A and B are shown apart, each in its own frame.
Chain A
Amino acid sequence: MSSKSNKRDTSFWDKHRNKVFSKRGGWVIGKGVFNCGYDMMHDLVGEKSYMQVIILNATGRLPDRKLADWFEAVHICLSWPDPRIWCNQIGALGGTMQTSVVSATVAGVLAADSKGYGTKPLVAGVSFIQKALAAYTDGLSVAEIVSEECAKYGGKPIIMGYARPIAKGDERIEAMERVSKSLGYSVGPHLDLAYQIEQMLLDKFNESMNINGYMSAFLSDQGLTPEEVYQICAVLVNSGVTACYLDAYGRAGGAFMPLQCEDIEYHGKPARGLSK
């Protein structure tokens, strides 16, 4: 463990020391701003939609306008101004604390980096349907796929992309089916399998697909990986959080769901004194 003898090879760090290496591009002062080979001010600004550039930054590939428009629509589906939703409530609590809009919005976005809702379940949803299609192609039946997934949770219908908390059914799927149709998309093999799985769950458990399931299958049909979907959707919930923040911010400080002392249920240690 001597720090003096046998000087170590630090060439990897020496190469990177005080230097920036970028595969994406950057600002070449006097020449322009470059992004994945595109000249941003000429090729992108005014030529491509904001969502196309978001996807370019998230994946390194510029998608066609149609896919970007689909993503824009699904962002509307997944961010509502209802402060009962967990991430939105954090926005509202920021509002009632009179934080800055950026602070509250970013806090809400960070909250949605959750395994329970928001962005991380998309990784699980896309992974599930891609593995399921591979298994289906290899000969597993839809019933077997459903049975294997449910077996992981003691036979309960817990499959990522199906069922949802609070309510049964998902109005967002109908809206996105409409968008997909209007953009000229047809049902691909992942979405087709997702519908078959849904039918099986409806028949056996009266549970249907949720927006995660629809989105995961649709985007798998567009060739995206789970990680790419997660990256594109990094700030998925931001606008609903901002709306909830502003609603609370516009009222007197502390007006959002104030609690009396007795609104908290204490079930810890009884009152005790310090031994001297």
Chain B
Amino acid sequence: MKKAKKVIRRDDPYAKKISTKIWHEQPSEQNPYIAQQSRCHGYDLIELVKERSYIDVLYLLFRSELPTKEEAVIFEQLLISFINPGPRHPATRSAIIAGVGKTDPVHILPIALSTLSGNFQGAGEVEPAVRFLRKNAKKPPEQAALALLDGAAKPAEGDWSIAPGFGSYYGGVDLMAEQLAQQLVALPGCGKLLSWGDEFSRALHDHQMGWLKTGVAAAVLADLGFLPFACASLYQLISAPGLLAHGLEYCKKPMSSYPFPEDKDYVIEE
């Protein structure tokens, strides 16, 4: 065994203050802890409250500039498109279980968003989907699809994800993801990644694959200029209202209102 070495503090330069480009609080003259004015990327918050929509300010917060009309329309439609993963989604069921389980309601959203962070058709798939779209968008979509399908084998069980954000959904094409993509593709604000992804998706249909919801969100957010890692978190934000609504719906219901599988349906595998 070696001798213990002395532990000494490094002189690493750590910041003295938190710094931000997003928010500026002007202190009151009487109390330096109280802000008398707040600005978001330079704009007075009270003015934003009076003059701009929630969508505009949400976009401003993350992108540092207000959106154009076209950007605002597609961003708003994206937020509506994925406002609710639906009651069958694992993240929503986590919210419902928290609600029915009489978990403190303030925990419902963090619980559900943690489940939504997953890599299987969750927020964890969004960043890889952005990177996939960015990397492949210069290739003809059909050729890119053929190249991926060439030699690829469908998994023996479960869904086939041929690329992040694209694949099968319960063994088939996700019809809602496709319809929402069509709605967004038709907008003047449709960008090149959404457009490319749409053609790529169509090239997968014969193999019972296509857009996944995570792919659609990834394409729109990336086209709007959000950074890949931010797109994953924004997908959680976009889905949060639906998760919360379903969780809260169950808060006042008895625990027996949520299924508890019967013993015959609980199979312990050897």
Chain A interface residues toward B at CB < 8 A: 1, 3, 8-10, 12-13, 18-23, 25-26, 28-29, 34, 100, 103, 106-107, 110, 165-171, 173-174, 177, 181, 187, 195, 198, 208, 258-274
Contacts and interface: CB of A to CB of B under 8 A. Distances in A.
Categorize the interface residue count of chain B: 35 or more
Given A10-B171, A18-B261, A262-B32, A269 B9 contact: no
Contact of A270 (B22, B42, B175, B259): B42
A21 B267 contact: yes
A13 B23 contact: no
A270 B40 CA distance: 10
Contacts of B18: 259, 263-265
A22 B268 contact: yes
A19 B267 CA distance: 8
Given A168-B7, A171-B7, A266-B20, A272 B268 contact: no
B8 to A, nearest CB: 5
Contacts of A258: 33
22 contacts: A3-B172, A8-B172, A10-B171, A19-B265, A19-B266, A23-B269, A100-B104, A103-B106, A103-B110, A106-B110, A110-B114, A167-B8, A169-B8, A173-B4, A265-B18, A266-B24, A268-B21, A268-B23, A268-B24, A268-B42, A269-B42, A273-B44
A172 B25 CA distance: 42
B208 interface: yes
Given A1-B175, A8-B171, A272-B43, A167 B20 contact: no
B131 to A, nearest CB: 17
A174 B39 CA distance: 51
A265 B12 contact: no
A166 B9 CA distance: 6
B35 interface: yes
**3 closest Cβ pairs, A-B complex:** A268-B21, A269-B42, A261-B27
B261 A20 contact: yes
B119 interface: no
Interface string B21-49: 11111110000111100010111100110
B39 A260 contact: no
Given A10-B171, A167-B8, A25 B268 contact: yes
A23 B265 CA distance: 14
Nearest to B39: A271
Interface in B152-190: 157-158, 170-173, 175, 178
B42 A264 contact: no
B10 A165 contact: yes
B42 A20 contact: no
Contact of B269 (A22, A28, A195): A22
A3 B175 contact: yes
